[in-house]
Structures are given as C-alpha cells and as structure tokens.
Copies of this chain bind each other. A is one copy, B any other.
C-alpha cells in the first residue's frame, strides 16, 4: 500500500507529519498546537490563548490564519477523517483473500488510532463541537468508512469464508472496537500499537467466523 495521495506519507508517532504540507509554517504550528490542546482538554475547555501560546504566538496571530476556533477544529477533523478513510481503504486492498483484507484493515486502522491517538481523539470525539454545516460534511466521510468495512464483510460472506449473521451490525462493532482504541490508548502502557493491531486483527477474524 504505497501512500502517494495528496496528503503526504506518514511516519510513526504523533509528531505532526499529518500537517507537513500545510503552509505557511505558522498555520502548521497552530494546527499542531490545537491538536494537542483539544486532545488534552477538549475543544470547549481549550482557549485560543492556549493554542497561540503553544505555537509561540500571541492570541491575535491565530486569527490571521483561521477565522475562528471552530475553523481550526474543522480543518483537523476534515484532514483526519480523509486520512482515516484512505488508510482503511488502502489497507483493505492488499489482497483478494477476505481474511487477509479484514486482518490488514483492522491491524492498520488500530495502529493508526494508537500511534496517532492524540489526533484520533480529536477527530473521533470532538465532532459535536463542529458547526452544523461542517458536522454534516464530516458525517459524510464517516459513512464512507462504514461502507468500506461492510464491503469487506460482504465479500467474505459471498466467498463463503465468513459466517456473519448481521453484516452491518458486525461492521459497526468492528469499527467501534478500532475507534475506541484512541480513547484508552496510553503510550506508556504495556502494549505497543503494533501489538494491539495484531491482537485486534485476530479478534476481528474470530468475530466474523473466518475459516
């Protein structure tokens, strides 16, 4: 799965590669600072002064690059969701074998939510703070995520390789399992993102009765 789309390749960590092609540099620093602050305190508890301070700027400088605090959240949410859909899609295209596709999708999606848990936390848990218009756009991206997962399961069932009585429900559960990693993952904990990815890929195969 070569990543050559519009959004740059990524390395590990939460260092900010996601925003590598945002310019000018000040806007990038602000986005990075906002991700950290939103993840730590939540959108509403974060002040624009805090974001600007983390980026080494005055409160007013933020408004040169973003119209409002919500605009900052929207950019984070949009880029994060686009990345998330792309990661899941590409990971599900590694093979023709349904079990390999599912394992790859879950492993990769979980790894992303663990490695990028800071970004993922904002992306997955601060949606409600978006304006109605922005919220609707993000929900549309999420529908695509659900469709990808259902597609994998449907193909596995059609090929006689999965035993899944309720495809939409199981797809929901699988995505739910992956996404929730962002909530509880702790980089100082006993498990690495890779280990969690492997564990969850195995659990996913069991859930669909792969054989």
Contacts and interface: CB of A to CB of B under 8 A. Distances in A.
Contacts of A191: 169
A43 B128 CA distance: 12
B184 A172 contact: yes
A171 to B, nearest CB: 11
A180 B34 CA distance: 25
A176 B181 contact: yes
Contacts of A166: 199
Interface string A140-159: 00000000000000000000
Q: Is the interface of A mostly helix, strand, loop or mixed?
A: helix
Nearest to A200: B173
- Interface size on A, as a range, is 20 to 34
Interface stretch (A55-63, A89-97, A130-138, A201-209): A201-209
Nearest to A195: B169
A37 to B, nearest CB: 13
B173 A199 contact: yes
A89 B113 CA distance: 30
A179 interface: yes
A31 to B, nearest CB: 21
A196 interface: yes
Interface of A: 41-45, 125, 128-129, 165-166, 169-170, 172-173, 176-177, 179-181, 183-184, 191, 196, 199-200, 202-203, 206-207, 209
Top 3 closest pairs, chain A to chain B, by CB: A44-B44, A44-B45, A176-B180
20 contacts: A41-B44, A42-B43, A42-B44, A42-B129, A45-B129, A165-B202, A170-B199, A170-B203, A172-B184, A173-B177, A173-B200, A173-B203, A176-B180, A176-B181, A177-B177, A180-B180, A203-B207, A206-B206, A206-B209, A207-B207
